[in-house]
Chains A and B, each alone.
Chain A
């Protein structure tokens, strides 16, 4: 997962992450616990989280 500049740090994503992989302090940051499950995508009101696979590409 990748956080783009749309993020304002509203913190709507982190509580839904089952891995504890999102830290929010002014802006969301994804740590290395992320498994790329994608659940956070549907909670971000600003489309600030984008799916990036292991090759750095945006699609599966």
Chain B
């Protein structure tokens, strides 16, 4: 049943669509504005010569079958088929344990054997630390993962494993992730399950969300850019929407419309949204109550300080084709001894329609340190050299090299440092990879963030 209230959503990425679908089902009148011709943000397919590349993601759900995203999709009534990875992962080690690369060959091990090489003492420490964290008997505070972990366990191989895992799943080094976040992620894999590949890839999730939004009366407009978020009396009153079709962009026209609503959700990140509203000289513009103004000023200043601390993660995805399947299973192949590539997967292990007949589509991901952004071409070259080493003697065709950083990053906020969904304005929330929940890898974090925002919204409006 309709609740008579209107929600406007800026951006049609996964966070915006999940929020929109849920609100539309709850009776809100939902309007989603997307400035591009493409729906789904960085979680969408791109057809290139019959290969289903993506705008960013890796055609994979991190936690199946009971993770946050699949649970929410089920609740929304989305028909999405996933194939749980089996095994979840393998790890490629150098053939000679003393080597630091794959030049003399490699040996793949099952992920459950990742501690096999460890000393008895280190294994015991690992068991103790895991047990204590699960029982909340230990608190690493604000220490980062490797710093914390190395106090108890000295094992270079495990640090490499942790880096390749963090690089693949968060586009960070393990020591850029708070220990609590990393431990929560590992606990969630045990609790919810590990990765699964999505039949049809990212777009099959997006098209289901679009169907749910539209069948519940919601509207999604493409080629409509939000150029300002308009504040009045201490809350958001409207947004200004500008037509951004090909014609508009060529002619640089400014056909603007003001759209009012009760609730505003932004899927474009905290900073990017902040840039859309008028910077007020710390005034809530609501009556003359000094106390109220003072409270707002404090909230606003605190928010600005939080924005200054946000860092976006960077990464490179290389999509390539081969005549034979180079990844032998439906899970993740971690490559901790490669120069840059952290891991790879292949969607055609479960869905051959994602590539032309007889071809396979494989994707690798590598983290890029923020200090390396000035020399991104060298980082790409290192990734390409890795692929040559990993598949030496095999014919591969590079289809696309995609870099994500800055304002179009892997994650708008380093995992573990998200600042929540709230803004200084009570009817404006942020969702997406700039407002993830704890312990959620990528899209799982986005979903946890969306669920948090929805619970706040329910409190506010019910």
- Distance in angstroms between the alpha carbons of A60 and B402 in the assembled complex: 31
Known contacts A45-B36, A46-B408: does B403 contact A8 (CB below 8 Å)? yes
Q: A34: CB under 8 A from chain B?
A: no
- Distance in angstroms between the alpha carbons of A51 and B250 in the assembled complex: 6
Give chain A interface residues in 1-40, CB to chain B under 8 Å. Answer: 6, 8-12, 14-16, 24-27, 38-39
Please give the distance in Å from B255's CB to the nearest CB on chain A: 15
Q: B97: CB under 8 A from chain A?
A: no
**Of B46-54, B72-80, B193-201, B285-293, the one with at least 4 CB within 8 A of chain A:** B46-54
Known contacts A42-B37, A46-B407: does B250 contact A11 (CB below 8 Å)? no
| A residues in contact with B249, CB < 8 Å | 38, 41-42, 51
Please give the distance in Å from B56's CB to the nearest CB on chain A: 7
Size category of the binding interface on chain B:
20 to 34
Number of residues from A at the complex interface, CB < 8 A:
25
Please give the distance in Å from A44's CB to the nearest CB on chain B: 8
Contact B402 A11 (CB under 8 A): yes
- How many contacts between A and B, using CB within 8 angstroms? 79
Contact A39 B246 (CB under 8 A): yes
Contact B250 A38 (CB under 8 A): yes
Q: B380: CB under 8 A from chain A?
A: yes
| A residues in contact with B401, CB < 8 Å | 9, 11, 24-26
Please give the distance in Å from A47's CB to the nearest CB on chain B: 8
| B residues in contact with A41, CB < 8 Å | 246, 249-250
Residue of B nearest to A48 (CB): B408
Contact A42 B244 (CB under 8 A): yes
Contact A24 B402 (CB under 8 A): yes
| B residues in contact with A39, CB < 8 Å | 246
| 26 pairs, A vs B, C-beta closer than 8 Å | A8-B405, A8-B406, A9-B376, A9-B401, A9-B402, A9-B403, A10-B55, A10-B56, A11-B53, A11-B403, A15-B46, A15-B47, A15-B48, A25-B401, A26-B376, A26-B401, A38-B247, A38-B250, A39-B246, A42-B37, A42-B245, A43-B37, A43-B38, A44-B36, A51-B252, A59-B252
Give the A-binding residues of B (Cβ under 8 A).
36-38, 46-48, 53, 55-56, 223, 244-247, 249-252, 376-377, 380, 400-408
